[in-house]
Amino acid sequence: MARAVYSARSLRALEQRAQSELGIAGYTLMQRAAEACHCHVEAMLAGRALRDVHLLCGSGNNGGDGYQLAALLQAHGRAPRVWTLGGPPRSGDAVQAHAAWRGAGGREQPWRPDALDAVDHRDLIVDALFGLGLSRPLDGEAAAAVRAINAAAGRGAPVLAVDLPSGLDADTGAALGPAVRATRTLTFIGHKTGLHLGAGPELAGELRLHMLGLPADFLASEPAAFLRLRADDLRVGLLPRAREAHKGHHGHVLVVGGEAGMAGAALLATRAALRGGAGWVSLATHGAHAAALVAAQPEAMVSAVADGAQLAPRLALASVVALGPGLGQGDWGRDMYQTVLASGRPLVLDADALNLLAAAPQPLPPGTVLTPHPGEAARLLGRSTAEVQRDRLGAVLALRQRYGAVVVLKGAGSLIAAEQVHYCPYGNPGMAVGGMGDVLTGLIAALMAQGLAPGAAARLGVLAHALAGDAAAAGGERGLLPSDLLAELRRVLNP
114/91: higher pLDDT: 114
Exposure of 261 in the CB half-sphere (CA atoms within 13 A): 5
- Packing angle between helix 374-381 and helix 392-403, nearest 10 degrees? 50
- pLDDT tens for 347-360 read 999 999 999 999 99
pLDDT level of residue 1 (50, 70, 90 thresholds): low
By three-state DSSP, how is residue 30 classified? helix
Structural domains of the chain ordered from first start: 4-223 (3.40.50.10260), 233-492 (3.40.1190.20)
Strand partners for 53: 124
Single-letter residue type at 428: N
What is the arithmetic mean of pLDDT over 170-191? 96
| Closest residue by Cα to residue 458 from 410, 398, 492 | 410
Q: Report pLDDT for 249.
A: 80
Residues 174/140, Cβ–Cβ less than 8 Å: no
pLDDT level of residue 135 (50, 70, 90 thresholds): confident
- pLDDT tens for 306-344 read 999 999 999 999 999 999 999 999 999 999 999 999 999
What is the arithmetic mean of pLDDT over 124-148? 94
Q: How many other C-beta atoms lie within 10 A of the C-beta of residue 199?
A: 21
CA dist 126 and 361 (Å) reads 50
∠ CA(15), CA(19), CA(21), 5° rounding?
Answer: 105
pLDDT at residue 469 tops 80? yes
pTM score: 0.94
CA dist 444 and 276 (Å) reads 8
- pLDDT tens for 199-253 read 999 999 999 999 999 999 999 999 999 999 999 999 999 988 878 888 778 999 9
To the nearest whole number, what is the mean pLDDT of the chain? 96
| Closest residue by Cα to residue 491 from 462, 469, 459 | 469
CA dist 75 and 54 (Å) reads 16
- pLDDT tens for 418-450 read 999 999 999 999 999 999 999 999 999 999 999
- pLDDT tens for 374-433 read 999 999 999 999 999 999 999 999 999 999 999 999 999 999 999 999 999 999 999 999
pLDDT at residue 164 tops 70? yes
Give every strand in the sheet of 226-228, ordered side by side.
191-192, 4-6, 226-228, 421-423, 415-417, 406-409, 368-370, 347-349, 320-323, 252-256, 280-285, 301-304
DSSP string, 273-327: HHHTT-SEEEEEE-GGGHHHHHHH-TTSEEEE--SHHHHHHHHTT-SEEEE-TT-
In sequence order, what are the residues at sequence separation of 6 or more whose Cβ sits closer than 8 angstroms to the Cβ of residue 159? 124, 125, 126, 127, 149, 152, 153, 180, 181, 182, 183, 184, 205
Quick one: which H or E segment has residue 27?
helix 26-45
CA dist 199 and 181 (Å) reads 10
Judging by beta carbons within 10 Å of its beta carbon (0-12, 13-18, 19+), is residue 434 exposed, middle or buried?
A: exposed
Residues 161, 167, 170, 174: is their CA dihedral positive or negative? negative
Q: How many other C-beta atoms lie within 10 A of the C-beta of residue 362?
A: 9
In sequence order, what are the residues at sequence separation of 6 or more whose Cβ sits closer than 8 angstroms to the Cβ of residue 300? 255, 270, 271, 274, 281, 282, 283, 293, 294
By three-state DSSP, how is residue 187 classified? strand
Exposure of 313 in the CB half-sphere (CA atoms within 13 A): 6
By three-state DSSP, how is residue 260 classified? coil
Residues 59/82, Cβ–Cβ less than 8 Å: no
CA dist 479 and 457 (Å) reads 28
Residues 259/351, Cβ–Cβ less than 8 Å: no
